[in-house]
Amino acid sequence: MKRKLYALAFAFAAALLVAVAGCGGTKTVTRTVTAPATTTSGRQVSEQVAAGAHDFVQFACVKCHGERGRGGVSPAVPGLTAAGKGFSVAQLRSIIDKGLGESKNPSQPYMPVWGPVISKRQVSDLVAYLRAGLPAVTGASAPPVQTAQGAAVQGAGLYVAYGCINCHGPNGLGGVPNPQAPDKTIPPLSGEDFFSEFDTDKKIEDVIRSGSVIGRPPIASMPHWGGILSDQQLKALVAYIKTLKSS
Ligand code: HEC
Ligand code: HEC
168 and 231 both lie in a single domain: yes
Say if ligand 2 is within 6 A of residue 118 CB: no
Same domain membership, residue 204 and residue 122: no
Q: Which residues have CB under 8 Å from 107's CB, separation 6+?
A: 210, 224, 226, 227
Does 230 map to a domain? yes
Same domain, 120 and 65: yes
State the distance between the two ends of the chain, measured CA to CA, in whole angstroms: 56
Domain interval for residue 171: 151-241
Domain boundary among 83, 99, 131: 131
Query: What CATH number should be reported for the domain holding residue 117?
Result: 1.10.760.10
Q: What is the pLDDT of residues 205-221, one digit of tens each?
A: 999 999 988 888 999 99
The Å distance, Cα 4 to ligand 1 centre, comes to 36
- Region 53-71: mean pLDDT is 98
Query: Within a domain: residue 118?
Result: yes
Domain stop point among 103, 131, 159: 131
Residue with CA nearest ligand 2 atom 25:
187
Structural domain contains residue 188: yes
Asked whether the predicted pLDDT for residue 67 surpasses 80, the reply is yes
If asked whether residues 155 and 231 sit together in one domain, one would say yes
Residue nearest to atom 9 of ligand 2 (CA): 222
Would you say residue 39 lies in a domain?
Answer: no
What's the average model confidence in pLDDT over 51-66? Answer: 98
Q: How confident is the model at residue 164 (pLDDT cuts 50, 70, 90)?
A: very high
Residue 112 belongs to some domain of the structure:
yes
Q: Are residues 124 and 155 in the same domain?
A: no
Q: What is the pLDDT of residues 217-230, one digit of tens each?
A: 999 999 999 999 99
Residue 141 falls inside a structural domain: no
Kindly state whether residues 168 and 212 are assigned to the same domain: yes
| Whether the model pTM is above 0.85 | yes
Number of domains present in the structure of the chain: 2
Whether residues 117 and 159 fall in one domain: no
Of 64, 70, 114, best ligand 1 pocket probe by most atoms within 8 Å of the beta carbon: 64
Asked whether residue 84 falls in the same domain as residue 157, the answer is: no
Instruction: Give the whole-angstrom CA distance, residue 109 versus residue 170.
Output: 24
Domain-embedded: residue 66: yes
Residue 89: what pLDDT? 98
Quick check: CB of 237 below 6 Å from ligand 2?
yes
167 CA to centre of ligand 1 in angstroms: 17
Query: Looking at the chain, how many residues does it have?
Result: 247
36 by DSSP, 3-state: which?
coil
Domain termination residue (choose one: 99, 131, 163): 131
Go through 99-122 and write b for each residue having 16 or more CB atoms within 10 A of its CB, e for each that does not. Answer: beeebeeeebbbbbbbbbbbeeeb
